[in-house]
Amino acid sequence: MNLKKFFMILLCLAVVLPLMVAQPKDIESISIVAEVPVSEKGYSLDPASPYLPPVSGLANNMAANGAVYSVYVPSNLYPWAPGVIIIVPDGETAEGFAMSELGREWMAAADELGFALGFAESGNGTWNVSGDPSMRNDVQAIEDVYTQMRSKSVSLYLPFTMDKSRVTLVGYEEGGEMALAAAAACPAAFCGVVAVNAEDPDEAYIEELGKGFCYPFPADGMRGLEEVGLVANTLQIPVWFIGCKDEAVKDYFRTIDGVDSYAYNDYAIVEYDSDNVVSAVWSSASDAELTPAVIWNEFAGTHTRPLGKAGGHLAFAMNFAERPDGTGYIFTEEEYDGLIRRYMTYVPESYDPSVPAPMVLVLHGYTATMYALAEESRWADIAEREGLIVVFAQGYPNPDANPANIPAPSWMVPALFGDAEGADDVSFLLHVIDETKANYNIDSSRVYGTGHSNGCAMTLALASVAPDVFAAIAPIGYAAEGLTDSIDTIIPLSLYYGQYDSAVNADGVANATAYWTALNGIGTENSVMETSDDGLFTTTTYPGPDGVPLVQFTQVKDSAHSYFPEESWRIWNEFFSHYARVDGKIFYDGAVVE
């Protein structure tokens, strides 16, 4: 390296590094949350800032089946935020570590960068890093903390809504050894792991854990362990070793991550799978200058593992940005019906204002966000290939949706929330569609609706009361009826649900089948069942005139309560793209359906 280049690198680092360092949060500025349930101490939703957490600060002495942890929620945290669970060293409490200089650096980074924190402590002062049967099962303890942190229950000291697909483990010293063991045992729960100064990981225990079955759908509950039989070491997971010299444990993760190439960045040697670059093993000699902000910006904040099929689909986190030419993700916030409402429009680079574009409306599930479902479904990829405009609408945090939880984003539909009062979401969503048509050249004959869970129920409800708006609907994850039986038009429906979907049961599917076939004026006696994609999808079709697939129900093998990219593509390619509504009539592949 020549001298000029060397000094240029130093100059760049002098500019960049200060931006990656957050000063420790002042002790006096930390709001300590009272150690009583939210239901007792109360909370409030600010109508001027309804998307901010109703309770924030640091809560200590939380307990998940006996595992003690602390939680820090920034006051500016957006719903469904990503999270970091810090596994503290032996001999330290979660509260003590959180209030240390390093813990307060993590809190400052969380404030600035928008993520939540958990701090988990060992049982009796020592992590069980070897699987000693006489000690607490600490893999299970960490899973319990992960599970409870996702709860919105007002029975907790500090509930919030966490993005269960974007949780990273960060362990220090013995906590780093424990983080590696937990990641080896349950990789489906985490999108990455960072081990800092973990000097003596137990390679034999980690390898043993990797040979066992892991929960395939941890973000949707601890089901399917034996039935699915997902072996832990078949799932890749990004790992960053900082100040760790043990090559044997690195080799374990190199093997499961399939590394075959390497590169260098400003902080680490990066070994990666050239066929799946998100899967990588990072190694740094020391933790010097590797602040919490660096760890988040460079690694922890860059990965996601949405549910989907067993084990989830590991990917890089998306950047929800508008491009200079006005394409990309366009964020809209406005007051509608007295409430602050939001939605996000994805405009592909190929959009030509002179050519009418199809439109897809996408609705997230209860407690989630438009960002979460955009990331999980990857409808933007289809928009780029097919020239679609895709609108991801944001539910309002309705306090009356579920009194057992803090206010969380929801769509107010009777199928889920009965007669609870809340936002007029039917009116809002029709307004969003109208605004999109006003702002872009939308082909009104090709407007489609989809959504997940609560968003599935909302899609069904919306289409049943405004059928002329949609050419077809294809929601996922909740089998429900519509809001009316008295319509005189066809509504093509394709509904998906997972084999292990916690929100769908046989009775719900039967009732929904009866409702939607009757609404479309077709019987159930001529149904056709077929499988595709090597048995992944099993679809029952209830055909209309000329065999048109007017109503379909598809069960997805080894899938839970989720929405994943293969479903999005199938919905478009196999269903939406065939339908149009012209002058109130449905057309399938250009022919009218009478």
C-alpha triplet 398, 115, 308: angle, nearest 5°: 75
pLDDT at residue 13 in the model: 37
Q: Which of 67-71, 304-308, 445-449 has the lowest mean pLDDT?
A: 304-308
pLDDT number for residue 2: 38
Q: How far is CA 345 from the centre of its chain?
A: 19
Residue 61 has a pLDDT of 97
- Is residue 17 in a domain? no
> Closest by alpha carbon to 190, among 85, 75, 78?
85
State yes or no: pLDDT of 109 exceeds 80: yes
Strand 276-284 with 239-242, pairing: parallel
pLDDT of residue 421: 87
Q: Categorize the per-residue pLDDT at 412 as very low, low, confident or very high, splitting at 50, 70 and 90.
A: very high
Q: How confident is the model at residue 21 (pLDDT cuts 50, 70, 90)?
A: low
Beta bridge partners of residue 168, listed in sequence order = 84, 192
Neighbours of 547 (CB within 10 A): 11
Residue at 165 is within a domain? yes
* In the chain, % of residues over pLDDT 90: 90
| Residue 16 belongs to some domain of the structure | no
What are the residues whose beta carbons fall under 8 Å from the beta carbon of 362, sequence distance 6 or more? 370, 373, 374, 377, 379, 390, 391, 392, 393, 450, 451, 455
Same domain, 89 and 196: yes
Q: Which tokens belong to 227? A: 């039935």
Question: Is 277 in the same domain as 401?
Answer: no
Would you say residue 12 has pLDDT above 80?
no
Tokens representing residue 301 in the block: 């904040």
Residues counted in the chain: 594
Distance CA 393, CA 374 (A): 10
Tokens of 537: 């999808």
pLDDT at 117 over 90: yes
Same domain, 332 and 290: no
d(CA 222, CA 225): 7
pLDDT for residue 565 is more than 80: yes
339 and 248 in a common domain = no
The interaxial angle of helices 174-185 and 138-149, nearest 10 deg, is: 80
Same domain, 86 and 202: yes
Q: Is residue 550 part of a domain?
A: yes
> In the prediction, which pLDDT does 22 show?
64
Q: What is the pLDDT of residue 255?
A: 97
**Are residues 387 and 502 both part of a single domain?**
yes
Q: What is the mean pLDDT of residues 427-440?
A: 98
Residue that finishes a domain, picked among 271, 296, 316: 316
- Structure tokens of 257? 């991550």
Which of 441, 409, 570 shows the shortest CA–CA distance to 495?
A: 570
Which pLDDT score, from 0 to 100, does residue 383 have?
A: 98
Residue 170 lies in a domain: yes
What's the rounded Cα separation, in Å, for the pair 536 and 142? 32
Same domain, yes or no, for 160 and 230? yes
pLDDT tens track for 224-262: 999 999 999 999 999 999 999 999 999 999 999 999 999
Q: What is the largest CA-CA distance in the chain?
A: 80
> What mean pLDDT, rounded, does the chain reach?
93
pLDDT tens per residue, range 287-320: 999 999 999 999 999 999 998 889 999 999 999 9
Judgement on whether residues 218 and 75 belong to the same structural domain of the protein = yes
- Answer left, alpha or beta for residue 535, where phi above 0 means left and psi between -120 and 50 means alpha: left
Sheet holding 442-451, edge to edge: 328-336, 339-347, 389-394, 357-363, 442-451, 472-473, 493-498, 551-556, 537-542, 528-532
Q: How confident is the model at residue 488 (pLDDT cuts 50, 70, 90)?
A: confident
Per-residue confidence (pLDDT) for residue 221, from 0 to 100: 82
4, part of any domain: no
pLDDT of residue 162: 95
Does the structure show a pLDDT above 60 at 18?
no
pLDDT band at 3 (very low <50, low <70, confident <90, very high): very low
Residues 190, 138 share a domain: yes
d(CA 280, CA 152): 33
Residue 10: its pLDDT value, please? 32
In a domain, 1, yes or no: no
Given 316, 349, 367, the domain boundary residue is 316
Calpha distance 257→259 (Å, rounded):
6
Domain extent, residue 538, equals: 328-592
Distance set, CA 226 to CA 184, 206, 207, 537, 558 (Å): 18, 20, 19, 21, 12
Q: Dihedral through CA 78, CA 79, CA 80, CA 82, nearest 10?
A: 20
At 215, is the pLDDT very low, low, confident or very high (cuts 50, 70, 90)? very high
Q: What are 292's two structure tokens?
A: 């919490």
For residue 40, report the phi and psi dihedrals to the nearest 5 degrees.
-90, -40
CATH number, domain containing residue 531:
3.40.50.1820
Q: Read off the DSSP letter of residue 285.
A: S
Q: Please identify, among 291, 316, 341, the residue that sits at the C-terminal boundary of a domain.
A: 316
pLDDT at 582 over 60: yes
Average pLDDT over residues 319-347: 97
361/469 same-domain check: yes
Q: Provide mean pLDDT across the span 142-157.
A: 96
**Which residues fall within 8 angstroms of residue 8, CB to CB, at 6 or more apart?**
none
Q: How confident is the model at residue 93 (pLDDT cuts 50, 70, 90)?
A: very high
Looking at the structure, do residues 293 and 344 belong to the same domain, yes or no? Answer: no
The alpha-carbon radius of gyration of the chain (Å, integer) is 25
Pinpoint the alpha helices (H) of 44-100: 94-99
Look at the chain and report how many structural domains it folds into.
2
Is the residue at 279 inside a domain? yes
CA distances from 92 to 98, 128, 286 (A): 10, 14, 22
pLDDT at 308: 87
66 is written with which tokens?
């006996």
Instruction: Mark whether 291 and 395 lie in a shared domain.
Output: no
Cα 546 to Cα 525: distance, rounded to the nearest angstrom: 15
